[in-house]
Amino acid sequence: MTESHTKLLDLLGKNISFSVVRSDEIMQFFPNGILESGTVEAVLIHVSGNHEILVGDVFYSLNEIEMK
C-alpha cells in the first residue's frame, strides 16, 4: 500500500470539514464550493485512483473536494 493510501485510510472515523467543488454552474453561486463536514465512515480505494470517502450517506470523490 502506498503512502497516499495510508493517509487516506487515516481519515476513517475522523471528523473532517471540506469544500465540495461541483460544476461550473454551481460555482457561480458558491465560488468556494459547498462546505460539508462530518465523520468519515468508509473509504473506497479504486484501482483507477479516483478514491472516495463516505460522509453521512454521501460518497465524495477525492477529486471533487478540497480539505479545509
For residue 49, the 8-state DSSP code is: S
Count the alpha carbons within 13 Å of 16 in the hemisphere toward its beta carbon: 22
Question: Quick one: pLDDT at residue 1?
Answer: 37
C-alpha cell at 31: 465560488
Residues recorded for the chain: 68
* pLDDT tens digits, one per residue of 3-43: 455 578 888 999 999 888 766 666 677 766 678 899 999 99
Q: Report whether pLDDT(48) > 70.
A: yes
